[in-house]
Amino acid sequence: ILPRTGGPHGASRSGIPSGLRTSHARPLHANRGARMIHRLPDRDAVEMLARAFPRASSVTVVDVGAHTGKFSARVLAVFPNARIIAIEPSPEPFEMLRTWAEGRPGVTPVQVALGAEPATLRMAITANPMLTSVLSPTARSSAISGGAAEVVSEVTVAVRRLDDVLAEHGVE
């Protein structure tokens, strides 16, 4: 989560609001020394963002595994000036995300999987798109899901490094 303008609202001496933890992102942004805000288990992520930054600020949010854009929509509802890079590799949810993003200039959908190095991977498309993954379903997950984890097709997806995707979209 990177502020584009201004500084954090209600920040402690470290510059981060109380109740939020930060770390230096390595290796993701090792050259930039960027700080990342981690979600605490008892707080909602959008609520934490609202405490960290004024609602009128222009924040950049990277929604990894955006699926159909529900989290991105919540962020946009709280931060109407937000810039959102919504990343989703699975074809069906990505099309729904892309359709939702139309007419929302602050939202950029990106169809790619993320990894340590550029590559391609086989993705198992399951009966329930929420269970689609580059990992094959296990017998246990199939049993628990009542068949929803059954692989119905496979697709090959591009894999890129997050730093490369962000640079391509002008995020430093």
Predicted confidence at residue 72, as pLDDT, reads 95
Predicted confidence at residue 142, as pLDDT, reads 81
The helix (run of H) or strand (run of E) holding residue 51 is: helix 45-52
Give the Cα separation of 54 and 10 in Å (integer): 9
Predicted confidence at residue 17, as pLDDT, reads 41
Crossing angle of the two packed helices 91-101 and 70-78, in degrees rounded to 10? 20
Contacts of 46 (CB under 8 A, 6+ apart): 71, 74, 75, 78
What is residue 141's three-state secondary structure? helix
Give whole-number Cα distances, 51 to 57, 78, 89, 146, in Å: 12, 11, 30, 40
Predicted confidence at residue 28, as pLDDT, reads 41
pLDDT one digit per residue (tens) for the chain, 172 residues: 544 444 344 333 334 344 444 433 334 444 444 445 554 444 578 888 888 888 888 889 999 999 999 999 999 999 999 999 999 999 999 999 999 999 999 999 999 999 999 999 999 888 888 888 888 888 888 888 888 888 899 999 999 999 999 999 999 8
Predicted confidence at residue 29, as pLDDT, reads 41
Beta bridge pairs of residue 123: 155
Q: Which DSSP letter does residue 152 get? A: E
